[in-house]
Structure 1
Amino acid sequence: MPYHVSKGGSLESGEFKFVHYTSAESAMHIIKNRQVWMRNAQCMNDFMELEHGYECLIEAYNSDPEGKKFQAVIESAHPGLPKDIAQLFDSWMPHLRNSVFIACLSEHPPDEDNYGRLSMWRAYGGNQPVALVLNNTPFLSDTSLLGVFSTPVIYQEVEDFRAEFGKLASRLEQAKDILVQMGRDNLRNTLFELIKIYVLGTKHPGFSEEREWRVFYTPELGRSEHVESEIVSVKGVPQEVHKVPLRDIPEIDFHGAIPDLLHRVIIGPSDQQVVMGQTFKKLLTDAGCEDVDSKVHYSGIPLR
């Protein structure tokens, strides 16, 4: 996954942090309850993008030469495996459509620390928007025991996706001996996870300015004792949500406590900035944060 490897390197080098643009009310609940809700992908405002990722994958997998090369490499390592992978993924795609739970973050470069991003203020949070800027530590950790994973979104049409798929095939070809050593079942499971990430993390290029990363949880493929679920009503729609805890869980080496996780809060363009700023300072103090005056900032963008 060449693109994903490149993005992972940028994350590790500290080129950006993460940010969650949302309403002041939702941000308040995140901090007060020490948890983030993950909602069904069908409830997302751009839920059809899952279909876009699936269509890109099918086109690339069956393409010539990119897809044929990918299948040939896998076939030479373990005969019959490409067919098994296709059948496995087809059987699980209905579950991914209906039972994957997602939270969305955006890359946050240093030059957006003071004001945030205009397009995101316009798109998210309504009349009282807030941005929660997050440190990278939890995203650099192995979260497999938590059962929650993150992936950068790749913004491509089918043609560009085929080219990316071709790069992947070339890398696999160079590592053919390793593919053989992995064993059939291990390689099948690894490629299934890879294909799943491509489907969940591919969007139309028109969304590219969002610079999104998706945090996803697929309980049908493995539930976590640390992630609770509940039926709630969101804007009048009863639905199941899964709650990722924002606290340290030493037994699985997860570090997500708010004082360490939260870099800053940016109060978005609003006629209630002063009140919200004072309120979020109190919320952060109650959550155990220190020097809260330095953590709460006001966007000066004169958005109307």
Structure 2
Amino acid sequence: MSEPTFLDRASEKLWVDFQEELSFPSSRPLLAHYTSIQTFEQIVTKEQFWFSNPLFMNDLEELQFGMNEGANELHKSEAIRLACGAPENHRKLLQSFDYLFNDFDSKHVLNTYILCFSEHAPEDNDGLLSMWRGYGNSGSGAALVIDTSKINENSESPLIVGKVHYASKVERKKWISEKLISLAEVISAHAKVEDDFFNAAWAWMHRLKSFALFTKHHGFHEEREWRVVYMSDKDREQSFKKYFSHLATNRGIEPKLKEGLHNSQPVVLGADVKR
């Protein structure tokens, strides 16, 4: 067996808390999509789900918090600075992260799309009252239930299925701080060449994207949310570009991803993919 690379070590440390048995595809729950009757009719007749861009979603602040807090704490981290040893190594890591962060912000954020579901118990014939109120037109809408055991796996798909984790702002800040200390330990013990500092930045950026997209304030925990997320940076062949569209709403023109059900590529892995 070959020696683990620096990136392997960094990724393993940053993802050690990932519970594979509770995540897709190991876990395959029923997922309910609550919506209005009008939208439900569109889904059925046009055989399309419309994914929303996070910049136009109600929980935009949650997503921004994860990314911005993770970036700021990396820059302020004394543990990371000391682990890098020489100032030029620390500078290389921060510059690499800033490049990756800005690249994602400028090229991929507007082409990231989310479709939200609520975990649904098989014996439940009523659904969640809070979900009916918030998304199901106060009970006069519909809930479309998806059996995820019918979804095939495709590790190359840019559609990622994942369970949302809930935590307070204090808890999320603590998570970020602890993860940076773990990353610092790997850097201190295993970073030998210049590329290792770039890879440290890449590993942190990759973990942070998942954290930001799949973590919400604990006040929303009753929703038991799962998400399907389209990650444009994983779509190397731009195979989903033809599904990009827009919708005129009272908030203006909103970008959408209109995914045809009959054209869907098999999804998979979990949100917290280590690749």
CA separation in 1, counterparts of 2:103 and 2:256?
20
Distance 1:88 1:157, change over 3 A: farther
Matches for 1:1-304 after TM superposition, within 5 Å: 5-6=18-19, 8-11=20-23, 12-14=25-27, 16-58=29-71, 60-62=73-75, 67-69=77-79, 75=84, 79-80=89-90, 81-92=92-103, 94-95=105-106, 98-111=110-123, 113-127=124-138, 128-137=140-149, 141-143=153-155, 145-169=156-180, 172=183, 188-219=201-232, 222=235, 224-227=238-241, 228-234=243-249, 237-247=252-262, 254=266
Amino acid corresponding to residue 225 of structure 1 in structure 2 = S
Distance 1:217 1:247, change over 3 A: same
Bigger mean CA offset, 177-186 vs 132-141: 177-186
Distance 1:204 1:70, change over 3 A: farther
Instruction: State the Cα deviation string for residues 133-188 of structure 1 (Å, max 9, x = none).
Output: 22224777335x33222333333334312332355356657867888799666554
Give the match's secondary structure for 1:48.
helix
* C-alpha deviation, 1:117, in angstroms: 0.9
Q: Is residue 106–residue 210 contact of structure 1 (8 Å, CA) maintained in 2?
A: yes
Report the TM-score when normalising by structure 1. 0.63
Amino acid corresponding to residue 174 of structure 2 in structure 1 = A
Q: CA RMSD in A?
A: 3.8
CA separation in 2, counterparts of 1:180 and 1:24?
59
Report the TM-score when normalising by structure 2. 0.69
Distance 1:131 1:199, change over 3 A: same
CA separation in 2, counterparts of 1:140 and 1:160?
34
The sequence identity of aligned pairs, in percent, is 23
CA separation in 1, counterparts of 2:54 and 2:168?
20
Aligned length: 245
Distance 1:169 1:119, change over 3 A: same
Distance 1:165 1:45, change over 3 A: closer
Distance 1:71 1:165, change over 3 A: farther
Amino acid corresponding to residue 253 of structure 2 in structure 1 = P
Amino acid corresponding to residue 135 of structure 2 in structure 1 = Y
Bigger mean CA offset, 208-217 vs 222-231: 222-231
> Structure 2 regions of 5+ residues with no counterpart?
1-13, 269-275
Q: Is residue 248–residue 255 contact of structure 1 (8 Å, CA) maintained in 2?
A: no
